[in-house]
Amino acid sequence: MAHINDFVTLDREGVVAILTADNPPVNALSHGLRVGLLDGLTQAVADPALKAIVLICAGRTFVAGADISEFGKAPRAPGLHDIVAAIEASAKPVIAAIHGTALGGGLELALACHYRIAVRSARFGLPEVKLGLLPGGGGTQRLPRLVGIAKAMAMITTGDMIGADEAKEIGLIDEIVAGDLRAGAVAFAEKAAARAKPPLVRDRDEKILAARANPGVFDEFRKTHGRRWRGQMAPNHIMKCLEAAVNLPFDQGIAEERRLFQELLASDQSKAQRYFFFAEREAAKIPGLTPDTKPVEIKTVAVIGAGTMGGGITMNFANAGIPVTLIEQDQKNLDRGLGVIRRNYENTAARGGLAADDIEKRMALIEPSLKIEDVAGADLIIEAVYENMGLKKEIFQKLDKLARKGAILATNTSALNIDEIAAVASRPESVIGLHFFSPANVMRLLEIVRAAKTADWVVATSMAVARKISKVAVLVGVCDGFVGNRIMRARGMQSERLLIEGALPQQIDKVLVDFGFPMGPYAVTDMGGGIELGWRRRQEIGAKNFIGDSLAERGRFGQKAGKGFYHYEPGSRAPLPDPEVEEIIKEASRREGVDRRAIPDQEIFERLIYPMINEAAKILEERKALRASDIDVIWVYGYGWPLWRGGPMFYADLVGLKKIRDRMLELEKQHGSLFKPAPLIERLVAEDKGIAAYKAAA
Ligand code: 3H9
| pLDDT at 523 exceeding the cut of 70 | yes
| pLDDT at 378 exceeding the cut of 60 | yes
List, for residues 302-330, the tens digit of each pLDDT value. 999 999 999 999 999 999 999 999 999 99
Say whether 13 is catalytic: no
Q: Whose CA is nearest to atom 28 of ligand 1?
A: 25
User: Which pLDDT belongs to residue 540?
Assistant: 82
Bridge partners, residue 336, by sequence: none
Confidence of residue 289 (pLDDT cuts 50, 70, 90): confident
User: Which pLDDT belongs to residue 622?
Assistant: 96
Contact between residue 342 and residue 264 where contact means Cβ atoms under 8 Å apart: no
List, for residues 328-346, the tens digit of each pLDDT value. 999 999 999 999 999 999 9
Please tell me if the CB atom of residue 67 comes closer than 6 angstroms to any atom of ligand 1. yes
Mean of pLDDT values over 47-73:
97
User: Which pLDDT belongs to residue 698?
Assistant: 54
Mean of pLDDT values over 188-210:
94
Q: Whose CA is nearest to atom 16 of ligand 1?
A: 26
Mean of pLDDT values over 215-229:
95
Q: Report residue 619 CA to chain centroid gap.
A: 23
Q: Report residue 584 CA to chain centroid gap.
A: 38
Write a three-state SS string for 187-199. Answer: HHHHHHHHCCCCC
Q: Whose CA is nearest to atom 39 of ligand 1?
A: 26
Share of the chain above pLDDT 70, in %: 100
* Cβ neighbours of residue 620 closer than 8 Å, sequence gap 6 or more: 627, 628, 631, 680, 691, 694, 696
Please tell me if the CB atom of residue 105 comes closer than 6 angstroms to any atom of ligand 1. yes
Domains of the chain (ranges, CATH numbers): 2-265 (3.90.226.10), 301-482 (3.40.50.720), 503-591 (1.10.1040.50)
Question: Could you give the 3-state DSSP secondary structure of residue 593?
Answer: coil
Residue 249 CB neighbours (<10 A): 9
Among residues 13, 70, 88, 128, which one is catalytic? 128
Please tell me if the CB atom of residue 281 comes closer than 6 angstroms to any atom of ligand 1. yes
Q: How far is the CA of 64 from the centre of ligand 1 (A)?
A: 6
Mean of pLDDT values over 577-598:
97
Mean of pLDDT values over 164-184:
97
Helix, strand, coil share of the chain (percent; to 5):
55, 15, 35
List, for residues 89-123, the tens digit of each pLDDT value. 999 999 999 999 999 999 999 999 999 999 999 99
Bridge partners, residue 53, by sequence: 17, 94
Contact between residue 531 and residue 564 where contact means Cβ atoms under 8 Å apart: yes
What does the mean pLDDT of the chain come to?
96
